[in-house]
Amino acid sequence: MKHQIILGIETSCDETAVSIVKNGQEILSNVVASQIESHKRFGGVVPEIASRHHVEQLTLVFEEALKEANVSYEDIDAIAVTEGPGLVGALLIGVNAAKALAFAHGIPLVGVHHIAGHIYANRFMKEFTFPLLSLVVSGGHTELVLMKEHGSFEVIGETRDDAVGEAYDKVARTLELPYPGGPHIDRLAHSGQPTLNLPRAWLEPGSYDFSFSGLKSAVINALHNASQRGEVLAPENVAASFQDSVIDVLVTKTVKATKEYGVKQVLLAGGVAANKGLRAELERVFQEIPNVELVIPPLSLCTDNAAMIAAAGSIAYEKGKRSGFDLNANPGLELTSFNKSSI
Protein backbone atom coordinates (compact mmCIF):
# COMPACT_ATOMS: atom_id res chain seq x y z
CA MET A 1 0.00 0.00 0.00
CA LYS A 2 1.22 3.49 -0.85
CA HIS A 3 2.22 5.61 2.12
CA GLN A 4 0.37 8.81 2.81
CA ILE A 5 2.63 11.88 2.95
CA ILE A 6 1.27 15.16 4.34
CA LEU A 7 3.08 18.49 4.36
CA GLY A 8 2.00 20.64 7.33
CA ILE A 9 2.33 24.43 7.68
CA GLU A 10 1.80 26.40 10.89
CA THR A 11 2.12 30.20 11.15
CA SER A 12 -0.75 31.15 13.50
CA CYS A 13 1.36 32.97 16.09
CA ASP A 14 5.09 33.30 16.66
CA GLU A 15 6.49 30.03 15.30
CA THR A 16 7.12 29.51 11.58
CA ALA A 17 6.85 25.75 11.13
CA VAL A 18 6.82 23.17 8.32
CA SER A 19 6.72 19.41 8.74
CA ILE A 20 6.42 16.25 6.70
CA VAL A 21 4.43 13.41 8.28
CA LYS A 22 4.02 9.85 6.97
CA ASN A 23 0.75 7.96 7.56
CA GLY A 24 -0.36 10.50 10.18
CA GLN A 25 1.94 9.11 12.85
CA GLU A 26 5.53 9.24 11.70
CA ILE A 27 7.47 12.51 11.66
CA LEU A 28 9.90 12.67 8.73
CA SER A 29 10.82 16.28 9.51
CA ASN A 30 9.56 18.96 11.87
CA VAL A 31 11.26 22.33 11.43
CA VAL A 32 10.30 25.20 13.74
CA ALA A 33 11.73 28.73 13.57
CA SER A 34 10.80 30.50 16.79
CA GLN A 35 10.49 34.29 16.94
CA ILE A 36 10.41 34.51 20.74
CA GLU A 37 13.64 36.54 20.86
CA SER A 38 12.12 39.27 18.63
CA HIS A 39 8.96 39.62 20.74
CA LYS A 40 10.58 39.29 24.16
CA ARG A 41 11.53 42.94 24.50
CA PHE A 42 7.90 43.97 23.87
CA GLY A 43 6.61 41.57 26.55
CA GLY A 44 4.30 39.78 24.09
CA VAL A 45 3.75 38.93 20.44
CA VAL A 46 3.65 41.97 18.14
CA PRO A 47 1.41 40.94 15.20
CA GLU A 48 3.21 43.00 12.50
CA ILE A 49 6.60 41.66 13.55
CA ALA A 50 5.21 38.10 13.58
CA SER A 51 3.93 38.44 9.99
CA ARG A 52 7.21 39.89 8.75
CA HIS A 53 9.20 37.07 10.34
CA HIS A 54 6.92 34.45 8.79
CA VAL A 55 7.52 35.95 5.33
CA GLU A 56 11.27 35.96 5.88
CA GLN A 57 11.50 32.48 7.39
CA LEU A 58 8.92 30.38 5.58
CA THR A 59 10.86 29.57 2.40
CA LEU A 60 13.95 28.56 4.38
CA VAL A 61 11.90 26.44 6.76
CA PHE A 62 10.20 24.75 3.76
CA GLU A 63 13.46 23.88 2.10
CA GLU A 64 14.88 22.45 5.28
CA ALA A 65 11.75 20.37 6.01
CA LEU A 66 11.70 18.86 2.49
CA LYS A 67 15.42 18.17 2.52
CA GLU A 68 15.41 16.57 5.96
CA ALA A 69 12.45 14.34 5.06
CA ASN A 70 14.01 13.55 1.69
CA VAL A 71 10.72 13.98 -0.17
CA SER A 72 9.84 15.98 -3.25
CA TYR A 73 6.54 17.61 -4.22
CA GLU A 74 5.48 14.54 -6.28
CA ASP A 75 5.47 12.47 -3.09
CA ILE A 76 3.08 14.77 -1.20
CA ASP A 77 -0.58 13.71 -0.99
CA ALA A 78 -1.91 16.87 0.64
CA ILE A 79 -0.86 20.21 2.08
CA ALA A 80 -2.37 20.86 5.53
CA VAL A 81 -2.27 24.43 6.80
CA THR A 82 -3.52 26.15 9.95
CA GLU A 83 -6.43 28.32 8.79
CA GLY A 84 -7.30 29.58 12.29
CA PRO A 85 -7.60 30.61 15.02
CA GLY A 86 -4.62 32.92 15.49
CA LEU A 87 -3.29 36.29 14.36
CA VAL A 88 -4.86 37.13 11.01
CA GLY A 89 -1.69 38.55 9.42
CA ALA A 90 0.37 35.60 10.63
CA LEU A 91 -2.17 33.01 9.46
CA LEU A 92 -2.37 34.66 6.02
CA ILE A 93 1.30 33.99 5.33
CA GLY A 94 0.89 30.24 5.87
CA VAL A 95 -2.46 30.02 4.08
CA ASN A 96 -1.17 31.89 1.00
CA ALA A 97 2.02 29.84 0.85
CA ALA A 98 -0.05 26.65 1.08
CA LYS A 99 -2.39 27.81 -1.69
CA ALA A 100 0.51 28.79 -3.96
CA LEU A 101 2.21 25.41 -3.51
CA ALA A 102 -1.03 23.47 -3.91
CA PHE A 103 -1.79 25.36 -7.13
CA ALA A 104 1.71 25.16 -8.58
CA HIS A 105 2.12 21.43 -7.91
CA GLY A 106 -1.52 20.28 -8.21
CA ILE A 107 -1.63 19.01 -4.63
CA PRO A 108 -4.89 18.87 -2.58
CA LEU A 109 -5.20 21.55 0.11
CA VAL A 110 -6.67 20.95 3.59
CA GLY A 111 -7.34 23.76 6.10
CA VAL A 112 -6.78 22.66 9.71
CA HIS A 113 -7.96 24.13 13.02
CA HIS A 114 -4.98 24.92 15.27
CA ILE A 115 -6.52 23.14 18.26
CA ALA A 116 -7.28 20.00 16.23
CA GLY A 117 -3.53 20.07 15.57
CA HIS A 118 -2.63 20.35 19.25
CA ILE A 119 -4.90 17.38 20.01
CA TYR A 120 -3.45 15.30 17.16
CA ALA A 121 0.11 15.88 18.43
CA ASN A 122 -0.77 13.04 20.83
CA ARG A 123 -1.15 10.58 17.95
CA PHE A 124 2.63 10.55 17.53
CA MET A 125 2.73 8.94 20.99
CA LYS A 126 -0.24 6.55 20.95
CA GLU A 127 -3.00 5.46 18.60
CA PHE A 128 -6.28 7.04 19.74
CA THR A 129 -8.89 4.88 21.50
CA PHE A 130 -12.40 6.29 21.61
CA PRO A 131 -14.19 7.84 23.34
CA LEU A 132 -11.39 10.09 24.47
CA LEU A 133 -11.13 13.37 26.27
CA SER A 134 -8.56 16.03 25.53
CA LEU A 135 -7.60 18.75 27.96
CA VAL A 136 -6.51 21.63 25.71
CA VAL A 137 -4.45 24.27 27.48
CA SER A 138 -2.72 26.90 25.36
CA GLY A 139 -2.08 30.61 25.11
CA GLY A 140 -5.44 31.14 23.42
CA HIS A 141 -7.55 28.18 24.54
CA THR A 142 -8.65 26.22 27.58
CA GLU A 143 -11.06 23.48 26.62
CA LEU A 144 -12.22 19.97 27.36
CA VAL A 145 -12.86 18.25 24.04
CA LEU A 146 -14.68 14.92 23.76
CA MET A 147 -13.91 12.78 20.71
CA LYS A 148 -16.06 9.75 19.83
CA GLU A 149 -14.15 9.01 16.62
CA HIS A 150 -11.34 10.43 14.49
CA GLY A 151 -12.00 13.98 13.34
CA SER A 152 -15.03 14.46 15.60
CA PHE A 153 -14.77 17.18 18.24
CA GLU A 154 -17.31 18.09 20.91
CA VAL A 155 -16.31 20.95 23.22
CA ILE A 156 -17.85 20.08 26.62
CA GLY A 157 -16.24 22.95 28.51
CA GLU A 158 -14.21 26.06 27.71
CA THR A 159 -12.90 29.19 29.36
CA ARG A 160 -15.33 32.04 29.85
CA ASP A 161 -12.56 34.64 29.99
CA ASP A 162 -8.78 34.21 29.93
CA ALA A 163 -7.07 31.14 28.52
CA VAL A 164 -4.81 29.43 31.01
CA GLY A 165 -1.61 30.33 29.11
CA GLU A 166 -2.77 33.94 28.95
CA ALA A 167 -3.26 33.94 32.75
CA TYR A 168 0.25 32.49 33.17
CA ASP A 169 1.73 35.17 30.92
CA LYS A 170 -0.14 38.02 32.69
CA VAL A 171 0.84 36.85 36.17
CA ALA A 172 4.42 36.44 34.95
CA ARG A 173 4.44 39.98 33.64
CA THR A 174 3.26 41.25 37.05
CA LEU A 175 6.16 39.36 38.59
CA GLU A 176 8.42 41.02 35.99
CA LEU A 177 9.38 37.71 34.42
CA PRO A 178 10.32 37.55 30.70
CA TYR A 179 7.87 36.62 27.92
CA PRO A 180 6.53 33.97 27.57
CA GLY A 181 6.02 33.72 31.30
CA GLY A 182 4.52 30.23 31.59
CA PRO A 183 7.82 28.31 31.79
CA HIS A 184 9.24 30.86 34.28
CA ILE A 185 6.26 30.52 36.65
CA ASP A 186 6.50 26.73 36.32
CA ARG A 187 10.20 26.81 37.22
CA LEU A 188 9.68 29.21 40.17
CA ALA A 189 6.69 27.25 41.48
CA HIS A 190 8.90 24.24 42.07
CA SER A 191 11.07 26.10 44.55
CA GLY A 192 8.16 27.81 46.38
CA GLN A 193 5.30 26.98 48.72
CA PRO A 194 1.60 27.73 48.06
CA THR A 195 1.41 30.25 50.92
CA LEU A 196 -1.30 32.46 49.35
CA ASN A 197 -4.90 31.42 49.60
CA LEU A 198 -6.06 31.98 46.03
CA PRO A 199 -9.54 31.40 44.58
CA ARG A 200 -10.60 28.43 42.46
CA ALA A 201 -13.41 29.17 40.01
CA TRP A 202 -15.48 25.98 40.04
CA LEU A 203 -18.49 27.75 38.42
CA GLU A 204 -21.99 26.19 38.61
CA PRO A 205 -22.17 22.53 39.64
CA GLY A 206 -21.85 20.25 36.63
CA SER A 207 -20.19 22.89 34.44
CA TYR A 208 -16.97 21.96 32.66
CA ASP A 209 -16.26 25.59 31.82
CA PHE A 210 -13.28 27.43 33.25
CA SER A 211 -12.54 30.97 34.39
CA PHE A 212 -9.09 32.31 35.17
CA SER A 213 -9.53 36.10 35.18
CA GLY A 214 -10.54 36.17 38.89
CA LEU A 215 -7.47 34.18 39.82
CA LYS A 216 -5.23 36.47 37.80
CA SER A 217 -6.76 39.55 39.49
CA ALA A 218 -6.39 37.93 42.94
CA VAL A 219 -2.66 37.46 42.32
CA ILE A 220 -2.24 41.03 41.10
CA ASN A 221 -4.20 42.35 44.13
CA ALA A 222 -2.16 40.29 46.58
CA LEU A 223 1.06 41.72 45.09
CA HIS A 224 -0.25 45.32 45.19
CA ASN A 225 -1.57 45.00 48.75
CA ALA A 226 1.72 43.60 49.94
CA SER A 227 3.69 46.39 48.27
CA GLN A 228 1.40 49.03 49.86
CA ARG A 229 2.27 47.51 53.23
CA GLY A 230 5.92 47.79 52.27
CA GLU A 231 6.22 44.00 52.04
CA VAL A 232 7.49 41.85 49.21
CA LEU A 233 5.86 38.50 48.54
CA ALA A 234 8.38 35.83 47.60
CA PRO A 235 7.86 35.34 43.83
CA GLU A 236 8.35 31.58 44.12
CA ASN A 237 5.50 31.40 46.66
CA VAL A 238 3.24 33.52 44.45
CA ALA A 239 4.08 31.24 41.51
CA ALA A 240 3.46 28.09 43.57
CA SER A 241 0.11 29.41 44.87
CA PHE A 242 -1.05 30.43 41.38
CA GLN A 243 0.06 27.16 39.81
CA ASP A 244 -1.65 25.11 42.55
CA SER A 245 -4.95 26.86 41.95
CA VAL A 246 -4.74 26.40 38.14
CA ILE A 247 -3.78 22.72 38.36
CA ASP A 248 -6.41 21.94 40.98
CA VAL A 249 -9.23 23.21 38.74
CA LEU A 250 -7.86 21.72 35.49
CA VAL A 251 -7.22 18.28 36.95
CA THR A 252 -10.43 18.06 39.02
CA LYS A 253 -12.63 18.94 36.03
CA THR A 254 -10.72 16.57 33.73
CA VAL A 255 -11.14 13.67 36.17
CA LYS A 256 -14.85 14.42 36.62
CA ALA A 257 -15.46 14.51 32.85
CA THR A 258 -13.40 11.33 32.37
CA LYS A 259 -15.76 9.47 34.71
CA GLU A 260 -18.98 11.06 33.47
CA TYR A 261 -18.25 10.33 29.80
CA GLY A 262 -16.60 6.94 30.40
CA VAL A 263 -13.60 7.80 28.25
CA LYS A 264 -10.81 5.32 27.54
CA GLN A 265 -8.04 7.82 26.92
CA VAL A 266 -7.17 11.28 28.20
CA LEU A 267 -4.90 13.49 26.10
CA LEU A 268 -3.08 16.63 27.16
CA ALA A 269 -2.67 19.28 24.45
CA GLY A 270 -1.38 22.83 23.90
CA GLY A 271 1.55 24.94 25.01
CA VAL A 272 0.68 24.75 28.73
CA ALA A 273 0.90 20.95 28.44
CA ALA A 274 4.63 21.61 28.82
CA ASN A 275 3.93 22.56 32.47
CA LYS A 276 5.80 20.17 34.75
CA GLY A 277 3.39 20.61 37.67
CA LEU A 278 0.36 19.84 35.49
CA ARG A 279 2.00 16.81 33.87
CA ALA A 280 3.03 15.39 37.26
CA GLU A 281 -0.37 15.92 38.87
CA LEU A 282 -2.23 14.34 35.92
CA GLU A 283 0.15 11.37 36.04
CA ARG A 284 -0.35 10.97 39.79
CA VAL A 285 -4.15 11.15 39.63
CA PHE A 286 -4.61 8.96 36.54
CA GLN A 287 -2.40 6.22 37.96
CA GLU A 288 -5.24 5.55 40.35
CA ILE A 289 -8.02 5.51 37.73
CA PRO A 290 -8.29 2.04 36.17
CA ASN A 291 -8.76 1.48 32.43
CA VAL A 292 -8.04 5.06 31.42
CA GLU A 293 -4.83 5.73 29.52
CA LEU A 294 -3.21 9.14 29.99
CA VAL A 295 -1.20 10.42 27.01
CA ILE A 296 1.13 13.41 27.31
CA PRO A 297 3.23 14.55 24.35
CA PRO A 298 6.94 15.41 24.70
CA LEU A 299 7.67 19.12 25.20
CA SER A 300 8.66 19.65 21.55
CA LEU A 301 5.17 18.61 20.42
CA CYS A 302 3.32 20.65 23.09
CA THR A 303 4.34 24.06 21.80
CA ASP A 304 3.33 25.18 18.29
CA ASN A 305 4.73 23.04 15.48
CA ALA A 306 3.62 21.86 12.03
CA ALA A 307 3.83 18.09 12.65
CA MET A 308 0.64 18.36 14.70
CA ILE A 309 -1.07 20.23 11.82
CA ALA A 310 0.03 17.50 9.38
CA ALA A 311 -1.23 14.80 11.80
CA ALA A 312 -4.68 16.40 12.02
CA GLY A 313 -4.53 17.11 8.29
CA SER A 314 -3.89 13.42 7.63
CA ILE A 315 -7.22 12.46 9.22
CA ALA A 316 -9.07 15.40 7.63
CA TYR A 317 -7.71 14.31 4.23
CA GLU A 318 -8.76 10.70 4.86
CA LYS A 319 -12.23 11.91 5.82
CA GLY A 320 -12.45 13.71 2.45
CA LYS A 321 -12.02 17.26 3.68
CA ARG A 322 -10.65 19.53 0.93
CA SER A 323 -10.20 23.28 0.86
CA GLY A 324 -10.49 25.43 -2.24
CA PHE A 325 -8.31 28.29 -3.41
CA ASP A 326 -10.75 30.58 -1.62
CA LEU A 327 -9.36 29.26 1.70
CA ASN A 328 -8.86 32.25 3.96
CA ALA A 329 -7.25 32.95 7.32
CA ASN A 330 -9.94 32.84 9.99
CA PRO A 331 -8.78 34.29 13.32
CA GLY A 332 -12.00 33.28 15.12
CA LEU A 333 -12.42 29.80 13.56
CA GLU A 334 -14.57 27.40 15.64
CA LEU A 335 -13.44 23.82 16.24
CA THR A 336 -15.77 21.68 14.13
CA SER A 337 -15.63 18.04 13.10
CA PHE A 338 -13.89 17.10 9.85
CA ASN A 339 -16.38 16.56 7.05
CA LYS A 340 -16.09 15.52 3.46
CA SER A 341 -16.28 18.69 1.39
CA SER A 342 -17.76 19.10 -2.04
CA ILE A 343 -14.85 20.90 -3.71
Q: Is 23 annotated as a binding residue?
A: no
Nearest one of 269, 261, 264, 10 to 124, comparing CA atoms: 269
Identify which range of 143-151, 153-161, 269-277, 306-314 contacts ligand KG4 by CB under 6 A.
Answer: 269-277
| 117: partner contacted, choices Zn ion, ligand KG4, none (Cβ within 5-8 A by kind) | none
Answer whether 159's CB lies under 8 Å from 142's CB.
yes
* Residue 151 DSSP SS3: coil
Integer CA distances (angstroms), 299 to 103, 122, 137, 190, in order: 34, 11, 13, 18
Identify which range of 149-157, 161-169, 211-219, 229-237 contacts ligand KG4 by CB under 6 A.
Answer: 161-169
Least distance CB 169 / ligand KG4 (angstroms): 5
Cβ proximity to Zn ion, 84 vs 151, nearer residue:
84
By the rule CB under 6 A, 180 interacts with ligand KG4: yes
| 266: partner contacted, choices Zn ion, ligand KG4, none (Cβ within 5-8 A by kind) | none
Give the number of residues written for the chain.
Answer: 343
By the rule CB under 5 A, 138 interacts with Zn ion: yes
Least distance CB 235 / ligand KG4 (angstroms): 15
Binding mask 272-311 for ligand KG4 (x = CB under 6 A): x-xx---------------------------xx-------
| 150: partner contacted, choices ligand KG4, Zn ion, none (Cβ within 5-8 A by kind) | none
Residues 124 and 28: their CA atoms lie apart, in Å, by 12
Residues 24 and 22: their CA atoms lie apart, in Å, by 5
| Contact partners, residue 25, CB within 8 Å, separation at least 6 | 123, 124, 127, 311
H helix intervals, the chain? 36-40, 47-69, 88-105, 114-120, 164-174, 182-189, 213-228, 235-261, 276-287, 299-302, 307-318
Integer CA distances (angstroms), 110 to 312, 316, 333, 343, in order: 10, 7, 15, 11
By the rule CB under 6 A, 271 interacts with ligand KG4: yes
- 276-335 positions binding Zn ion, by CB under 5 A: 304
Q: Is 43 annotated as a binding residue?
A: no
Q: Indicate the annotated binding residues for substrate.
A: 136-140, 169, 182, 186, 275
Q: Which stretches of the chain bind ligand KG4, using CB under 6 A?
A: 13, 114, 138-140, 165, 168-169, 180-183, 186, 270-272, 274-275, 303-304
